[in-house]
Structures are given as structure tokens and as C-alpha cells.
Chains A and B, each alone.
Chain A
């Protein structure tokens, strides 16, 4: 005979999952709020380190990337120097050009881009940097 007073309350099996769901939801909200969605870069580089006051959140009309092996990319697509000059010439002079290059890049490797900018009378080039300390 089953004693009436010792009956356990019927617990649902899903009750064990509620702490898990709580944690997963918290993780989800953290990554949604704290993370930034960006297009993956075409060239993996170590950006120059600079402790700027203002983060770079503004719009960029053209993202120019220079890989460590000297290849140029414009908005994620590989391009050669003459093609880069042609594509940049199609942009208005007020367009914001952003450069993403490795911190160990030599000035001679940047010269093709700087020559294009000089010839097209574009006075400003935004160089992407990152905060932190040099390794």
C-alpha cells in the first residue's frame, strides 16, 4: 500500500533544462550586444598599433587591403595596381578610403597606392589601426 503522505510532487523532465536555457540565453545576448559583425578581411594582417581616442566606426567607401605578400584587394576582391587606380578614379573625391595593411609593411610596398592618391589629388587616407601593445 502506498502511503499517501510520502507522495513526491510530479516534476517535469524539462525542469532540468531551465538553467541551461538561462545560460545559453545569457551567452546569446552577450554575443549579440558586445560583438561586432564585420566582413571577414581578405588579407590576414597584423594592424599597426595605435592608442587613438576615437574608434573607427565611420562609413568607409572603399576598403583597400595589402597582404603581407604584396597583393592588393579592393573591397575584398583581388586587384592589381592599374585596376586599383581605375576603380578609385571612379569614386568621388570625397570618398573615404581606408587602408588595411600589416604593421611590418615597408614604405616601398605602399608607394603604388600613395602614387595613385597623389595623381588623383586625394589628400586623405585612413589607416586602420588596433589598440593594444606591440608584441
Chain B
């Protein structure tokens, strides 16, 4: 019975789906993702920061002064001798003991890029580098 009624109905015309609305939505989505997407891959370097009130010992810690002119002054542990002045870290790395902490002391005008380079290179070499306080520039004696 149902089949007979269906057969008697006039054939339904299939209405066509308009593509305009779909294209509108897709274009809006495309604009959104084009304008908000970022393709810059960001990385990070972890700075170890020296803590205030750290235990004071009799030993003089190893210090590395990062000068504003991108030179390095290295004061070895327990040494009051004149610092070793170098232009690249590679000259210093063989003489820096990996098991002792090294405190980095940037001068006020030292740029962050230089600090990042030195910190990352020391970490890659296995040296426990700690970022210390900014020190006044051009002091030849041990800070």
C-alpha cells in the first residue's frame, strides 16, 4: 500500500546546493588562519640564576665577566691572579673545570645576545653556569 502511494506521488525535484555560502565560509576560515598563524619556530635557553643569600665559603668562585665589547675575563677558582682576557670562549673552555660552578657577571652594557651565546655554549660543554649580578665595567681586579 505504502509503495503504491509513493509511486503515485509526483517525482521530487532535487534542489541544488548553492556553493556560494560554502565558499564564503571557507574564505573566512582561510583568512583567519592566514592572519593568526605563526611559522616562527621558537626555542629557549634556560638561565640558571644565582640566588640571594647563598652560603658564603672561603673559596673564591670561578668568575667569567662578559664585557660589553664581547671580550671575556676569566677568574679561576681560588685565584687572585690577573684575569685571563680572551675574545672567544673556545680559548677558555679547556681550562674551565666542568664540575665547578661558574658565575657569569655581565657588564651593564653587555647585550642579551652575547649572554645567550655564552650561556648556551657553556651548557653545551657541560659547565654549570650561573648568571650573577651585573657589575661595573672595566675593573681589572677580581669583582
| Count of A-B residue pairs with CB < 8 Å | 148
Contact A50 B116 (CB under 8 A): yes
Contact B133 A134 (CB under 8 A): no
A interface residue count range (under 10 / 10 to 19 / 20 to 34 / 35 or more): 35 or more
Contact partner of B43 (CB less than 8 A), chosen from A52, A111, A134, is A52
Most buried by B among A14, A102, A122: A14
Is B19 interfacial (CB-CB < 8 Å)? yes
Find chain B residues with CB under 8 A from A71 CB.
Answer: none
Contact partner of A28 (CB less than 8 A), chosen from B30, B109, B113, is B30
Can you sample 10 A-B contacts with CB below 8 Å? Answer: A24-B30, A28-B29, A34-B39, A35-B38, A48-B112, A50-B120, A55-B42, A56-B42, A126-B45, A127-B45
Residues of A within 8 A of B (CB): 12, 14, 17, 20-21, 24-25, 27-28, 31-32, 34-38, 47-52, 54-56, 98-99, 101-108, 110-111, 114, 117-119, 121-131, 134
